[in-house]
Amino acid sequence: MGADDYIHKDISAGELQSKISAFLRIKDLQDQLKNESDKLNQIFRYLHEPVAICSQDDRLVLASQVFLNLLRMPREVSNFKSMTEILNILDVPDKTIARLRNGCSEDVPLQICIDETITYLTARTASINLGEGEVAMAYVFRDVTREVENQRMRADFHSMIAHDLRSPMSVIQGYVSLMATGKAGPVNETQIEFMGSVNRKISEMTSLLNDFLDMSKMDAGFVNLKCQDHNLGQLIEEVVEDLGPLASYRNLKVSLNLPPEELQVHSDPLRLTQILRNLLSNAIKYNIDDGYIRITVVEKEGWARISIADGGIGMSVDELDVLFEPYTRGQSQRKIKGVGLGIVIVKKLVEAHGGTVTVSSELGKGSTFTFTIPLSVLPGLDQLDRTCSLTQEPAAAK
């Protein structure tokens, strides 16, 4: 049906037969292509994952039925929507939409509200080359609502356990400290020494519980960052001063290299202090006697880059591979007390501020940890992304 060509009236029988055969072959190929396309559409529609394909101009051209069911969207409506319009309706932030449109191989967390119900998703995208300069974008979503709810339940349980353990330990520590002062009766030097050991062990257990609780909260998305502008140099000096006695005990030389001008950063001061304390404590713990620690701060493209280098025991390649995995420690590190949560917490907190953490190390030659924190946005400058929300408590949980 339809005209594809024309034939002169004086055409020969052989040429006419050739043209008819050619057009029949073309028709067969068109029918096969349409059948394959119909099959593909049927298969795609009934995939068990929420998947959508968008054209180069962001129009939705294919969508699995699971995707449409998830968004409560009739297929007829989806034919007239772009992916940007769909995500805007779901109140997905513009920067997240732009990230997905540019292609993202990592899972991007999304929180949407449909019919007054909060749903948690992850999304990733991939560019598809269709040939002749035509490019499409595949969106693959995953509903992780049940996983998030389970994580919250675990976090609540862990919080309850940690609280129930910390409370009696605080009471024990209080009574031990009171006894050490002699108010409960005379004590000799040996008893004071024993009670000091008890206090130190209780402090270690409390620190481990706090790390365990922080990990549970971060995994469940319960850490709410309270970002503000503050003086980075002053905060670092305070942390160095607090940990100074530990460094002095091992005769470590701590040097601090700050920029000549004051650096204002936009972060949660409490969490940034936690990051610095963890890294500096590790630099002291995994150092050698009479060693060194160098803390360097530089400004680079709207970020403060903080490096903490030590001349300690260092790490092997195998140890570096599992450094940021919780509850894993290398062979050289196992000789020193710990459960392997401090560095993992550092990474999660830095990434929550939008920064990155890197480490370089060589066995027997020390380690250098470097992380970035966003600088404050000064008036008159372009607004940079200063969101502290990657681990903020979701709206439904507030």
What is the distance between the alpha carbons of residues 181 and 285, in angstroms, rounded to a whole number?
A: 30
What pLDDT score was predicted for residue 306? 94
How far from chain centre, in Å, is Cα 270? 19
* DSSP labels, 315-358: --HHHHHTTTSTT---TTGGGS---S-HHHHHHHHHHHTT--EE
Place 330 in a pLDDT band, splitting at 50, 70 and 90: low
Residues 6+ apart with CB under 8 A from 53: 44, 60, 61, 62, 63, 128, 136, 137, 138, 139
Q: How far apart are CA 342 and CA 279, in angstroms?
A: 8
Burial tier of 32 (Cβ tally within 10 Å: 0-12, 13-18, 19+): exposed
State mean pLDDT over 370-386: 66
* pTM beyond cutoff 0.85: no
State pLDDT tens for residues 216-228.
667 666 667 888 9
pLDDT digits (tens, 9 = 90+) for 169-212: 888 888 888 888 888 788 888 888 888 888 888 887 877 777 77
Secondary structure of the chain: what % helix, strand, coil (to 5)? 45, 25, 30
CA–CA–CA angle 131, 135, 137 (5° rounding): 135
Greater model confidence, 68 or 272? 272
| pLDDT of 323 strictly over 60 | yes
pLDDT of residue 381: 42
Position 305 pLDDT exceeds 90: yes
